[in-house]
Chains A and B, each alone.
Chain A
Amino acid sequence: MNRWLSGLRELRQYPSAIGGMALIAFLIGLSVYTVIVIPYSQALEQWRGGEQWQMHPVNAGPVWADRLLGGNKPETITVSSDDATVEERTFDGGRQLRIPLGFDFTYDDFPSEINLFLQSRGTERQGFVRLSWRTPDGDTIPLGTQRIARDDRVSISQNRSLEGRLGQPPHIGLFAGADPGDNPEPVAGRYELVVDAMLFGDDPTLSAELAVYGRVHGIAGTDHQRRDLMVALLWGTPVALAFGLLAAVGTTVTTLVIAAAGVWFGGLVDATIQRLTEVNIILPLLPILVMVGTLYSTSIWLMLGVVIALGIFSAGIKMYRAMLLPIRQAPYIEAARAYGASNTRIIMRYMIPRILPVLIPTFVTLIPTYVFLEASLAVLGLGDPVLPTWGKVLNDAQVQSALYNGFYYWVVSPALLLMLTGLGFAMLGFALDRVFNPRLRTQ
């Protein structure tokens, strides 16, 4: 035990060890925070996507990146009828409403999309809405009239006739002022979307929500399904750490025990283990994982199981064997035998603890290998079907040609987190290697 403590004390002299531990501590803290703030079931639910993200823009970059580069791209603006002063006029058999949805627009770029969500309740038959757009210059642009269903989404950006009239996509044309020219610039000021509704029924109500989608969103941005990437980036942390740690523990411990057993029993057991190791070296890990993923399921736990199963007879056995062989002859093992210790006891209590310190560095440097393995599988499209992970974000980005389309944040942020994980463990591992590996220390 003393050896461990002194080793740990010595570790403090290495700046890389301190840096690595700080990174690991940060990642663990982030995982704990994530698991508490977004519970597992909620994370899965959110990552499934759908309606809950309808107020988020598509493929918006992070706000801070834009502001750092001196940009002033719009964030998403939502205006609800609950906050507007609604003019009402009830008539026999219905109600007439005028909902002005006003907002201030001060950004240097055009919004990416405009949607209006309408909910009508208590109506006997379909009502009508007439939409008109008021610009800061005082112009009024009619956006057309239409029937409304119970829950309706009016895609103003996809209004083709409006686009024809404006000569530009509506989310640009509506903000470009009266005479935009070839290079339209957004005009700042107060805009207003006026919803004039005619509803039929005893007590009909209408609530409207205008979403002027921005081009930047939050800390992490959003993806092609409007999902906030923050969910995946946050939840990727505990998943990656758990996968890396479990896989590293699983493979190292089993390999070690088997190597020790082989050395202790010798003879046929040892020979069998050696031959199995040779077979296993020839089995290509990633292609087999790909095969399992394609044919069975891509569940992360199955992958973990296969990784551990294939890692049991890994090349490490040869290394441990070489380390354990001299220990077998050591006098203290002779003594243990003399007092009648069982085989299991000798292997577990006398042989393995002797080489554990040498293993710690290997173990720590093994963790990022598995973290990247999980990411690799996800990049190949064999990520876990429901869990949000970094690799899946990278895969989505690649499938959507993120780099080609200029959505750099989509690739850079998960990659950066992967890099931090890799660096953290590798830095600590290398420092541990120098502390616990006496052969290197003498140099």
Chain B
Amino acid sequence: MSALPAATPARTGWLRDLRRIATFTGKRLIALILTVLVGVYLTILIANMGGQVDDLRMLQIRATVSEQVRADPAFFDMPSEERNELIERQVQLEVERRRLDEPFMVRSIDYLAQGMQLDLGRAEEMHSDSGSREVYQIIVERLPATLLLFGTANLLVFFVSVWAALWLSRRYGSPADRSVIALAPSSAAPGWFYGIFLILIFAFLVPVLPAGGMVDIPPPEDSWAYAASVMRHMVLPVAAMFISSIFISIYSWRTFFLIHSSEDYVEMARAKGLPSSLIERRYILRPTLSPIVTSFALMLIGLWSGAIILEQVFNWPGLGTLLFQAIGYRDTPVIIGSVVIFAYLLALTVFLLDILYAILDPRVRVGIEGDNR
């Protein structure tokens, strides 16, 4: 759809546009990979606590090994000196196996390489529902739940708010418009906050909807019944997110559209007597499409973080709850793994935003680097 209006000199313009978009995307991809690299490395540095993690691990290794040796009946008759020596040897072996004898800088590069390849190591306490100890498996198992919940809520908020804002920008100053302005400050509270109230009202005072979880227990056998059950469980969390971001969203879009609908070319189109739906589509929405997409992506970025607590409040089995459980177990590999995955998700969002931007913004295609990004 993008290249059609620009394709005046038929095929050559097409190819040129594609090439430009490809180089732009390539550049951005490299920049983003570098960014993720730095981000993940910072995470590793923070997680290492300036070497304290290593000390803790050494202590833990020593404790486990000496426990093992002392409890083994085969070593009961051993004189204590010999036994201590054995413990020392075992500890040394374990330390070498985990490469704790190497300097941290070497290992951190190693961790970085592993982190970038999403080889996130093995969890200390937790395991996935299928029994795997791989952090990657544990996280990937939770990802669809998060995507389902947040995808639904975000798309809903986005489309409803853009549509409502367009509608309101035509009715500037009407009671509906003013009530949206008055309600906009309600978005100061995050979704989980409204979630608490929604649970209180709809799950306890008027028990019509489930207070938490993703499906009924036990899960229904029939796949339609399963889907219906998931839908029922989604109502409250989606509503919480919807309430917390809808008014501010409508408010900012409305202001945005108001500014753009007073542009000269829109006045001109109005003067020509074009129907208002056409004016909206072609004269207001099309030029503002790239900022709209930007803000959508920024909203996605913001909501990735908000997810953690909302999921915890609604007991939704997604990434947020996982992180919360990992905090409970003090399971460092899972926590670091989640941070890395979050960083990747954010980078992915930014990358998709860039590609969309390249497609939507003619300046990128023509080769002018916009300064207002």
Contact = CB atoms under 8 A, between A and B. Distances in A.
A306 to B, nearest CB: 9
Contacts of A288: 43, 46, 339
Contact of B309 (A275, A368, A380, A419): A380
Interface in B19-45: 31-32, 35-36, 38-39, 42-43
Contacts of A285: 305
Interface string B2-20: 0000000000000000000
A314 to B, nearest CB: 12
Interface stretch (A56-64, A101-109, A140-148, A292-300): A292-300
A315 B302 CA distance: 11
B36 A381 contact: no
Contact of B204 (A294, A380, A404, A440): A404
A297 to B, nearest CB: 10
Nearest to B342: A284
Given A283-B343, A411-B200, A278 B338 contact: no
A175 interface: no
B190 A372 contact: yes
Given A294-B330, A423-B185, A427-B185, A283 B39 contact: yes
A154 interface: no
A278 B172 contact: no
Interface stretch (B100-108, B147-155, B213-221, B320-328): B320-328
Given A282-B347, A372-B193, A426 B188 contact: yes
Contacts of A96: none
A296 B49 contact: yes
A381 B339 contact: no
B290 interface: no
A418 B193 contact: yes
B193 A16 contact: no
Given A282-B343, A282-B347, A285-B305, A291 B47 contact: yes
B304 interface: yes
Contacts, number: 151
A288 B53 CA distance: 16
Contacts of B174: none
Contacts of B49: 295-296
A412 interface: yes
A46 B192 CA distance: 29
Describe A's contact surface by its main secondary structure: helix
B312 A379 contact: yes
Interface in B346-373: 346-347, 350, 371-373
Given A315-B298, A372-B190, A443-B258, A290 B46 contact: no
Interface in B124-177: 172
A381 B188 CA distance: 22
Contacts of B268: none
B90 interface: no
A89 to B, nearest CB: 57
A405 to B, nearest CB: 10
A281 interface: yes
B185 A16 contact: yes
Interface string B204-232: 10000001000000000000000000000
Contacts of A404: 204, 211
B46 A439 contact: no
Interface string A366-404: 001100100110011110000000000010001000011
B157 to A, nearest CB: 18
A278 to B, nearest CB: 5
Contact of B188 (A290, A291, A369): A369
B35 A430 contact: no
A55 interface: no
12 contacts: A16-B182, A286-B305, A286-B309, A287-B323, A287-B342, A291-B46, A291-B335, A294-B330, A294-B335, A415-B196, A419-B189, A443-B258
The 3 closest A-B pairs by CB, nearest first: A426-B185, A422-B188, A426-B188
Interface of A: 16, 20, 275, 278-279, 281-288, 290-296, 315, 318, 322, 325, 365, 368-369, 372, 375-376, 379-382, 394, 398, 403-404, 406, 408, 411-412, 415, 418-419, 422-423, 425-427, 429-430, 439-440, 443
